[in-house]
Structure 1
């Protein structure tokens, strides 16, 4: 029988080692004790990622082919596709409002950019479920602030973080925005649609869209308040269900988990129209350090992850009380290098070790939320670059090849799955490591280890005498993980490494 163990220092509360196993332990090193007979819970967690649309994913991009190949490595159920507002012409197929003057009627519907991006995404993610989120509503549908005129960059490579303006839709009935999404979805699932002028647009597409997420980071984008979001959600869901009746829905997509009123409002069925499905909620977490060194940044991000996990626990209490059948996807999990967040400080280069410990933060959150019964966790994001969150990228934005953040996700996907059992894993020195042992659905024993420190840590492991170890660390970088053999009880885990031990 094989064994897997996962270790992540920030996520697991400090638990004293089992006394009966401690008697032969060295007092100067952390000790891990695995009790394979005590099952804590059965995991429901699927690990996946999000793909945010940007020009580097266009077919004329020099990294296009490599980036999509990297996506294939980690394509999994609930993979998320988000055409996002900083690139209006890539994400808004009706970029200009219809012109209707008597008998003269024209529209601007144009899928020149959206279609190849969607086609590449589906081609690279076969045989899995998808969450599609054309999150950006046309800004001409909103009442713009005084003195503001509707504009967008003509160059598809230009980034426009000012595109989302206004807090009120110009059509209070919400018919304009719901018709927009009805037509957009019809283009992809029903082969075409009839526009505002009565003209039919043929696509020939018959995609199966398993999940549609309604808008994104609503508290930031258009400052949508909880009650208004419910109205938008109900109206848009009703319109999409009419053309794609098998599609399920994801709601909220909050930028963070701090404002519980959104969850209290959305998860209350009485606050929705009759028969509106509440299939999934989603929300996000990014470690956002303000420290000057990568070592301090890592420590701060792990601590911020701990705060986020406490928020997840609060949200779970609300969900179980109001809508226990609603599932949860944490579909943007990542970190920022403060000197390489949106763009990169001139002369600065995001250090290679950053991507190692950032992957470790993701692994830590995975370990903890698996124990909490969360359904999905998605790493953010496939491709970022200067101007579009380079330190969040899962690939090298100059080559499209994987970096360590993608390799950590890949290692977790190949090691753990829904149905695995989490077993009692006790250890000392929680400030150094996190550890969690699993028994997979086919009886294999595994241990996941995360070193939260820059320096190597020697640990003593009881309950696992012989194993294969797969390690992502500074030495592997974006390459596939290295493999070592383990026997005995003492293991030296390298700095910021994420490692999976599989019992021989």
Structure 2
């Protein structure tokens, strides 16, 4: 006899998810900066079709602490000294890197920014000097980071390299290895300098080595700007080895006076990656939702542990989640075919993690990345790599930037019935100093979901990034009372006052 599974299906007219808000609790306020970061990548080169629209979108976002990251995959741009100095010459050349820095700083419009000139030249490693990068500035070099042992084990060579880059942009120029002065004319200010990006990934730099390198770089750069603070670790999402936190965050492992201003880590959710170069063999799109949100919840539990380590060893050190995103399985596909619904789902994941991070002591949440492109993790992008037009991930980020601000009160919010929280929707309410009240709602399911907000009366406005909005601005709807339907995977803000 076949089993009857009818009781497992929801009733035809399922009740709305209750959302209960305690507006009287004013004990917590928003302290997490919401931002993004930008790669120095070919689609954003001056003259490229996406350049103007993309940088205009970055400017319109108006975020503090946007992060600039020239990464190793494009060394012809990111490494201004591509060859080791000889007895008579050096290879310093900033002509490819400068336009990206200038356009990024222009888009920041004076707001604080973070510099992460992350790539160490290959010739500074034993075994790395044999790498050939060619002349194609658009070629992706995944094999650039070769070698694990520094040719100068004192690390002075690496520290001087970063000091010269920083001097080029902060102090108007530098003196090279042969005593020759190079003038830039730049006088930029970086609020933070992050030392390397994902040192645990390709070279698997040991915590002890990284800590020693961090101290060496910081000691040199501190003389350039006494107001500039420093960010350490920048760990990839692949490892999250607790030993990095236990070692780096212990002041006893650092040189005397070395600042522990902040540390950073990254997270990307993805389905199983069976084939990173194409869709064949990978999980279908209807399975991504489950994978993304399950991994997001796992990451949140990791953060509790990481925060506890920091609180024990160095409680004043800020925790920055400066790369958070998702990508489909075919992460390196040179001809990606990403379904339209992916972008709204990814937006829902980043919005959910941001809302949850407010309770975990995160000082910064960076939605990554402003510009992915084919062959280079396209599913992380906030803009179209061909046109620069913002997509749903950008629109969801801007929706939250525009409607939730530092200093807003975080009102305790629950979904579901007492003792039985409903995980289908995440809700978080905020009260602004001007009296406005807002509820951020994230539908974690790919179906329309009803919610009913208690004690929410009168007329209000719902702005939602959803499948129908595409890359356009959020869809706005007038709502009467507290009952409403959230579209599939919507990121929404309900506003009153």
TM over 0.5: yes
Residue number in structure 1 paired with 2:134: 153
**Are 1:420 and 2:420 matched, yes or no?**
no
Residue 49 of structure 1, aligned match among 25, 29, 36 = 36
Task: Give the distance between the partners of 2:27 and 2:224, measured in 1 at CA.
Answer: 43
Residue number in structure 2 paired with 1:343: 333
Residue number in structure 1 paired with 2:446: 454
**Are 1:298 and 2:289 matched, yes or no?**
yes
Residue number in structure 2 paired with 1:20: none
State the shift of 1:96 in Å. 0.4
User: Could you tell me whether the CA contact under 8 Å between 1:473 and 1:495 is conserved in 2?
Assistant: yes
State the shift of 1:299 in Å. 1.9
State the shift of 1:27 in Å. 6.5
RMSD: 1.5
State the shift of 1:151 in Å. 1.7
CA deviation profile, 1:39-78 (whole Å, cap 9, x unmatched): 4622211100010111111102111101101111223111
Residue 267 of structure 1, aligned match among 249, 252, 255 = 249
Residue number in structure 1 paired with 2:279: none
Task: Give the distance between the partners of 2:325 and 2:95, measured in 1 at CA.
Answer: 31
SS of residue matched to 1:384: coil
The gaps in structure 1 that reach 5 residues or longer are: 1-25
SS of residue matched to 2:362: coil
User: Could you tell me whether the CA contact under 8 Å between 1:49 and 1:378 is conserved in 2?
Assistant: yes
State the shift of 1:293 in Å. 2.7
Task: Give the distance between the partners of 2:245 and 2:455, measured in 1 at CA.
Answer: 41
Please, which moves more after superposition, 134-143 or 415-424? 415-424
State the shift of 1:337 in Å. 1.0
SS of residue matched to 1:375: strand
Task: Give the distance between the partners of 2:410 and 2:187, measured in 1 at CA.
Answer: 40
Residue number in structure 2 paired with 1:76: 63
Residue number in structure 1 paired with 2:50: 63
SS of residue matched to 2:223: helix
Residue 98 of structure 1, aligned match among 70, 80, 85 = 85
The gaps in structure 2 that reach 5 residues or longer are: 1-12, 273-281
Residue number in structure 1 paired with 2:5: none
CA deviation profile, 1:352-411 (whole Å, cap 9, x unmatched): 111101011111011011122211000111111111111111001111010000000000
Per the normalisation by structure 2, the TM-score is 0.92
Task: Give the distance between the partners of 2:199 and 2:27, measured in 1 at CA.
Answer: 35
Task: Give the distance between the partners of 2:456 and 2:33, measured in 1 at CA.
Answer: 26
SS of residue matched to 1:475: helix
Residue 368 of structure 1, aligned match among 350, 356, 368 = 356
User: Could you tell me whether the CA contact under 8 Å between 1:295 and 1:453 is conserved in 2?
Assistant: no
Tell which has more relative contact order, 1 or 2 (C-alpha 8 A, sep 6+): 1
SS of residue matched to 2:179: coil
CA deviation profile, 1:437-495 (whole Å, cap 9, x unmatched): 11123332110001111111112221222311111001111111111111123201111
Task: Give the distance between the partners of 2:82 and 2:448, measured in 1 at CA.
Answer: 53
Task: Give the distance between the partners of 1:423 and 1:91, measured in 2 at CA.
Answer: 44
Residue number in structure 1 paired with 2:10: none
